[in-house]
Amino acid sequence: MVTYLKEGMKFCMWHPDVRPSLALLDPELTIGLPANLTAWTGADALIHGIEGYCVPGFNPMCDGAALEGLSLISKSLVTAVEDPGNLVARGGMHVGSCLVGISFLKGLGLVHAIAHMVGAEYNTHHGLTNAIILPVVLKYNLPGMEEKVKRMSEAMQFEDHSVPSFISNIEKLLDRIKIPKSLSEIGVPEDCVDRIAEKAMKDQAFATNPRLATLEETKEITLVSIKKAR
C-alpha cells in the first residue's frame, strides 16, 4: 500500500512481479505482538475474509480459502488477544490470515474503500479503522445475501445463521477484542464526511463491493461510522 500524502489517498500497488518468492508462516514470530496490534491486525484479517467472500463472481478457490480462513480466525482471534503466548491460536491466526489474503484476490469492499481514505488523512491504524467501520457496512451489504451469510456463519461456528444474528455475533467479537464503537473515538472529525466519501468511491475496493453505493449512501455509512458504528 502507498499513501499519497498530497491527495490524502491510499493506493494498492499490484503486479505479478511483486509476489514473494517464499512466505514463512511461523507463529512464534508473532508471540511478542502487543494485544492491541494482535486485535487490530486480526480484525483486518477477519474483514479480508468477509469482504473477499462477499465480492460477487465465481471463484471457488478464493471462496474456499475465505471460508477456511474465517473458520480458523473465528476459533483463534480472541484467544490470541487474551492469551498471547498461545501458539495454537497464534498459528490459527497466521494461517487464517494467509488464507483470507489469498481469498481477496477477488477484491475487497466498502469497509476497505472508506478505511483507506480515513487512514490516509488521519493516520489511523488500518485494521482498527476497518474494524470500527465493519458493522455499518455489514448492515448495508448483507440483507439479500442470506446464502453467503449462512456459509460464513457456519464456517465461524455461530449457532444461528441469519443475517441479523451474523452481524450481532461479529459485533460481540469486536467488543470482546476491545474495538472502539466509533471513528470519533480515534480522532476522526465529522466534517470530513463529504471528502472521505468522494475519495472512497475512487478506491479499487469500492468497485467490488457487493452493493454499488451512491455518493449519498457512502456519506451516510461514513458518518454513522464516525458517530456511532455500533
Give the interface size with Fe ion as a residue count (CB under 5 A). 1
Beta strands in the chain (DSSP E): 2-4, 9-11
Binding mask 104-143 for Fe ion (x = CB under 5 A): ----------------------------------------
Grid cell at residue 127: 485494521
**Among residue numbers 140 through 199, which ones bind Fe ion (CB under 5 A)?**
none
Residue 44 or 63 with smaller CB distance to Fe ion: 44
How many Å apart are CA 197 and CA 2, to the nearest integer? Answer: 19
Q: Select the residue interacting with Fe ion from 40, 44, 70, 128 (CB under 5 A).
A: 44
Segment interacting with Fe ion, rule: CB under 5 A, options 14-22, 38-46, 63-71, 200-208: 38-46
Residues 6 or more apart from 53 whose CB is under 8 A from it? 63, 66, 67, 70, 103, 148, 151, 152
How many Å apart are CA 106 and CA 109, to the nearest integer? Answer: 10
Residue 8 or 101 with smaller CB distance to Fe ion: 101
**Among residue numbers 48 through 67, which ones bind Fe ion (CB under 5 A)?**
none
Q: Which residues pair with 10 in a beta bridge?
A: 3
* Helix (H), strand (E) at residue 200: helix 193-200
Residue 165 or 207 with smaller CB distance to Fe ion: 207
- Within 10 A of 186 (CB to CB), how many other CB atoms are there? 15
Closest distance of CB 44 from Fe ion, Å: 4
How many Å apart are CA 199 and CA 172, to the nearest integer? Answer: 30
Closest distance of CB 126 from Fe ion, Å: 6
Segment interacting with Fe ion, rule: CB under 5 A, options 23-31, 40-48, 65-73, 212-220: 40-48
List contacts with Fe ion (CB under 5 A): 44
